[in-house]
Structure 1
Amino acid sequence: MKANQVSEHVWSLKIWMLIPVHVWVVADEDGVTLVDAGIQSMAKGILRFIEELQAGPLKRIVLTHGHSDHVGAVEQILKVNPVPVYAHQIEIPYMEGRLAYPRRKKAVSSIAEGITQPLHADESGNIQPIGGLTPFFTPGHSPGHVVYFHEKDQVMLAGDLFTSKNGNLKRPMSIFTADMDEAVRSSSIVQRLKPKRLEVCHGNPVFQPAEQIDSYIQNYVTTPSR
């Protein structure tokens, strides 16, 4: 597993599984937040990296969504560090196997019931900051997909809202995306927040991604993919 420092407070950990799979470690005043948990074989490497980083204990795991390549190491990590795990409340019944993900024939559990709790939201439904990160609801790839924005470092951890190639934003993988139209609409969060750097699970970083959003959306309108 390869570690790379993304910014002052953020590191990416990458493993190859035919395609790259990234998770992110965020160090802030109260300790460490793990964003996504990759595949099961990453568990030992994630725990070792956090220990060697010496930035404080693992305090929580936050998930962009519940697909198996984003939650695979959760249960192994919890055996060593029993910390809270958070996801959007809409996503939890899908990842626990109580509902079938859209375009899937049947419900399949990617994480045991009772492990994950909803991200905290105010009375208006706005998700509250957590561990130095602000979550934003970006459905489409999955019903409860979220991205996490580190405002201090101006880094967006975008999960599967996009893929990327050669520094360019690309659509999420269509075979695993519930609603591509919705996913493309959700991409407007990049224009709103204008991060300096955007990280995706499957691909390389994209710098100044807001400069690409208009053409990204327009390209989808002219060459839709279902």
Structure 2
Amino acid sequence: MRIDKGLAILELNIQGFGLNPTLIWDDEMAVLVDTGMPGQMEQIHLAMSEVGVSFDKLKAVIITHQDLDHIGSLPEILNQSNNHIEVYAHIFDKPYIEGTIPLIKTDPNRMSKEQWSSLPEQIQFLYKNPPKSKVDKTLEDGEELSYCGGIQIIFTPGHTPGHISLYLKQSKTLVAGDAMVVVDGVLRKPIPQTTLDLKTAIDSLEKFLDLDIEKVICYHGGLCNIKDKKQIRDLLS
């Protein structure tokens, strides 16, 4: 779904559950923010085609954080591309994405025997064999990538140790990852059940108040148009 010049949400679906990677592009290249679950490569191809962007144009992938539904199809993207694709993430989540440390939320060793045995075999296999990909470059708070009119990095820990959000200067759009969610078109706080440190995650939202934001894209819930920052400020209370 195109939402601005050179900006679209790729609406992916898995068993009725929606995921919303962001695609940014210009005349030179395209950048994908997050990659869905494992096995969603075909959906990503189709979604890019529907907004008129060739997969061959993809030159960079930015991962907002380590969770399985954000890194899932990254290995397939890298394997299928004829180009070298630069992979970016925060240094705190890099070892998890690269597989040197098990993903925090799906590590079998962190689960009770009851939790583990309640999972379907397919999910158990996925948790034991998560996707792994090399991170080429790590990102820091306040850093700006020159791609597609300027992409500012905002370090927003809490949901995971290395969660980042992105501010797209050209379209005044915040790509929030899982720092917030959208429910019925309204911004909400991060989901407590899947957020490792809820207080830190909510405190991180204060960084958004310094930005000139007109639109927010949340990975869960999609697009929210911002009339004023009160919508974000209210989440800090």
| Structure 2 length-normalised TM | 0.79
Alignment-mate amino acid for residue 98 of structure 1: I
Q: Relative to 1, partners in 2 of residues 1:37 and 1:130: Cα closer, same or farther, differing over 3 Å? A: farther
Cross-structure match for 1:73 = 73
Q: Distance in 2 between the 1:204 and 1:61 partners?
A: 19
Which of 72, 88, 97 aligns to 2:90? It is: 88
Residue 207 (structure 2) pairs with residue 216 (structure 1): no
Distance 1:153 1:61 in 2: 19
Distance 1:85 1:100, change over 3 A: closer
Structure 2 residue 59 is matched with structure 1 residue 59: yes
Conserved in 2, the CA contact under 8 Å of 1:158 and 1:198? yes
User: Against the structure 1 CA distance between its residues 137 and 130, is the aligned structure 2 distance closer, same or farther, given a 3 Å change threshold?
Assistant: farther
Whether the 8 Å contact between 1:12 and 1:22 is mirrored in structure 2 is yes
1:180 alignment counterpart: 198
Segment of structure 1 superposing worse, 131-140 or 179-188: 131-140
The letter of the residue matching 1:83 is I
Distance 1:48 1:214 in 2: 37
Distance 1:152 1:179 in 2: 32
Corresponding position: 1:118 with 2:107: no
Q: CA deviation at 1:199?
A: 0.5
- Residue 32 of structure 1: how far off its partner (Å): 0.3
CA deviation vs aligned residue, 1:152-192 (integer Å, no higher than 9, x gap): 10111111001111222112222211100011011112211
For 1:163 and 1:194, the matched residues in 2 are separated by 19
- Alpha-carbon distance, 1:8 to partner: 0.9
Alignment of 1:114-193 (within 5 A): 115-121=134-140, 126-132=142-148, 133-193=151-211
CA-atom RMSD, angstroms? 2.5
Q: Which of 14, 34, 37 in structure 1 is aligned with 2:11? A: 14
Segments of structure 1 that go 5 or more residues without pairing to the other structure are 219-226
> What percent identity do the matched residue pairs reach?
22
Q: Give unmatched runs, 5+ long, in structure 2.
A: 112-126
Partner of 1:224: none
Is residue 101 of structure 2 the alignment partner of residue 98 of structure 1?
yes
Q: Is the 8 A contact 2:11 2:47 kept in 1?
A: no
In structure 2, relative to structure 1, the CA distance for the partners of 1:173 and 1:15 (3 Å cut) is same
CA change 1:100–1:48 in 2 (3 A) is closer
- Counterparts in 2 of 1:93 and 1:108: CA distance versus 1, 3 Å: farther
Count matched residues. Answer: 211
**Counterpart contact for 1:94–1:100, Cα < 8 Å:** yes
How far apart, CA to CA, are the structure 2 residues paired with 1:75 and 1:102?
Answer: 20
Q: Which runs of 4+ in 1 moved over 6 A?
A: 106-109
* CA distance 1:102–1:112, shift in 2 (3 Å): closer
Contact 2:173 2:214 in 1 (8 A): yes
Alignment of 1:9-48 (within 5 A): 9-17=6-14, 18-48=16-46
User: C-alpha offsets along residues 13-50 of structure 1, whole Å, 9 cap, x if unaligned?
Assistant: 11233432111110124310011001123212323444
Given that residues 37 and 70 in structure 2 are in contact (C-alpha distance below 8 angstroms), is that contact kept between their aligned partners in structure 1?
A: yes
Distance, in Å, in 1 between the alignment partners of 2:37 and 2:105 is: 22
Q: Secondary structure at the match of 2:10?
A: strand
- Aligned partner letter, 2:75: E
Once the two structures are TM-superposed, the CA of residue 110 in structure 1 deviates from its matched residue by: 3.9
**Contact between 2:59 and 2:85, CA under 8 Å: does it hold in 1?**
yes
Other structure's SS at 1:116 match: coil
CA–CA distance in 2 between the matches of 1:108 and 1:138?
Answer: 28
